[in-house]
Amino acid sequence: MNILMALSQLEVTGAEVYATQVGDRLTQRGHQVFYVSDTLNCPHKGQHFSLRFNKRSLPRRVWHVLYLIYLILRYKIQLVHAHSRASGWSSYIACKLTNTPMVTSVHGRQPVHRSRKKFHALGYHAVAVCENIAQQIIRDLGVPSEQVSVVRNGVDSQQFSPLPAANNDKPIIQIIGRLTGPKGELVYQLLKQCIDLDANQVQVISGSKVEPRFAEFENKVEFCGYSDNIRSTISQADLVIGAGRVAMEALLCQKPVFAVGEAKSVGLINLDNLPTALESNFGDIALEGKTELDIDYESVANQLKRAIVSASVSDELVTNIKAEYDLDEVCKKLLNVYQSAYVYTKKREIPIIMYHRVINDDSQHGVYGTYVTEERLEEHFQTIKAMGLTPITFKELAKIGLEHRFDHGKRYIILTFDDGYQDNYDLLLPLLKKYQFKAVIYAVSGTDHNQWDASHPTKPDQRFELMSPETMRDIDRSGFVEIGGHTLNHPKLAELSEPEQQHQIEQNKKDLESLLGRELTTFAYPYGNHSQQTKQLAKQAGYAYTVATDSGPIGLHQDLQQIRRIVMFPSTTKFGLWRKIRGNYTYRKAINKNN
């Protein structure tokens, strides 16, 4: 996808570090990432465009919106990820006007006033970096809970491996953070009231300009400026004081952290208070919006004295931090949000269409009408080609990567044929070769004909032959077909016992894999019939993609064990096909059904 990260800051912030690290990891995964912000000081791989979001007059905001629209159109942006209120407001308007998906990472508490409640401008989804922010957005701004989730700051844990304990004659305390705003006031009060500047060597690591009020500490405190290598900087520290990213990065280096932020003091981080630290982003975000005036600096001073003596970081604590903040896991969660934002904003998903038999003789109609004529199927193929869609298999989708199915310039479709009839070999395969299309055939392996229909007690169908093992092997080797599992003899799985379901799914998979000499990727529930237990059994059997019929979420990525398909009927014309596969059919049908 083409992704635009929108930020507003005049100095290095945690949001900037977060956005650039996530952006670089997304770039590694094959996405194209752009940035637009006032400044951008962190190293980054994508192109950066300068825009003065912090200039907020009405003419400026109009310019911001127009410039963002230009960027979206010029660089084919498919999703905007905002990281601040200033950039988010303008991005929201630009995305609305261009129908571009938008999500917002919320790094701090949001202001609460009437206009903000009515126009929160967070886009499709708000990603809060901690629980307290998520609760505040829901409670104070009235954002629906389903539009808010917690995705923590991502940290590349490989860059922050454990460091040995410092061996200093005089303890070194490092305070890391901005010297402006509430954080600047916090640093001032820590130096003024909480730290024994004679007994400890204090270093302040910050990219902010040192304000005149800090002059009284210049002979006792070392103001070291900005560091672009925190791991190297903190290697000499006995104790790190900070919040947000500072805390998590120091802990990953196994450096003791005294977490105190803009809202509260958590204290020396350990396994017992880690949950509280996570909820507040290590003290930066209080649940009820408390300010630094609520910090008991006398208590902080006493805690700091004890922390300097007893500070340590256990291996288990480091493991827990990695589990919460690992950059790859954070990116996976964000990509899941991105995909949902795209599907529900664009109202579009890859069409997956379902056929059964292909016939060229009226006598083969059968009772249930599960067929399409060879002539009609060729009309469908012509329409698919005219629409610029590329038919792929699930095996190819796995190779492309599910997250890349919406990449700019790509339009995919998946053609599926259930049961594995002989006519798929006789009539479908030649058409696939003619149009250079790919298809997925879901094969039954325990019978040689449509026994489930032919033996129906009240409405029997005529017999239609399935492919023989040899024919199935040949069609699989053609390079135009992927074979998937479809049980032994086509039962309604949810009506069977768990052992019976497991046998139907797993034995069918073993039969086909033994025949074809390769692992199967995908499975289809007969009749679309399944339960939660059935889904679990299919996943347990090793199927990455399991298709249903007219059920499942709109987004393919939302449940890979219940993927929606669009049914093709004998009467589906070229226009009917176009209407079903142009992208928004599944969305419209699901929404209408829910209403």
Question: Where do the domains of the chain lie, and which CATH numbers do they carry?
Answer: 2-150 (3.40.50.2000), 157-324 (3.40.50.2000), 349-594 (3.20.20.370)
Write out 17-84 in H/E/C secondary structure: HHHHHHHHHHHHCCCEEEEEECCCCCCCCCEEEECCCCCCCHHHHHHHHHHHHHHHHHCCCCEEEECC
The count of other CB atoms within 10 Å of the CB of residue 316 is: 11
Determine contact, residues 247/324, Cβ cutoff 8 Å: no
pLDDT of residue 594: 62
**At a CB cut-off of 8 Å and minimum separation 6, what does 148 contact?**
125, 126, 128, 134, 137, 138
Which amino acid type is present at position 290? Answer: K
| C-alpha–C-alpha distance, residues 439 and 8, integer Å | 47
Task: Give the integer Cα–Cα distance in Å for 586 and 413.
Answer: 13
* Single pTM value for the model: 0.88
Q: What are the angstrom distances between the C-alpha of 92 and each of 89, 103, 272, 372? A: 5, 9, 40, 46
Contact criterion met (CB below 8 Å) for 492 and 526: yes
Q: What angle do CA 230, 36, 12 make, to 5 degrees?
A: 25
Q: Print pLDDT tens along the chain (595 aa).
A: 999 999 998 877 878 989 999 999 999 999 999 999 999 988 899 999 999 998 888 999 999 999 999 999 999 999 999 998 889 999 999 999 999 999 999 998 887 877 777 778 899 999 999 999 999 999 999 999 999 999 998 888 888 888 888 888 899 999 998 898 888 999 999 999 999 999 999 999 998 889 999 999 989 999 999 887 888 889 999 999 999 888 999 999 999 999 998 888 899 999 999 999 999 999 888 776 554 456 889 999 999 998 888 888 999 999 999 999 999 999 999 999 999 999 999 999 999 999 999 999 999 999 999 999 999 999 999 999 999 999 999 999 999 999 999 999 999 999 999 999 999 999 999 999 999 999 999 999 999 999 999 999 999 999 999 999 999 999 999 999 999 999 999 999 999 999 999 999 999 999 999 999 999 999 999 999 999 999 999 999 999 999 999 899 999 999 999 999 999 999 999 999 999 999 888 888 777 666 5
Tokens describing residue 112? 């609460």
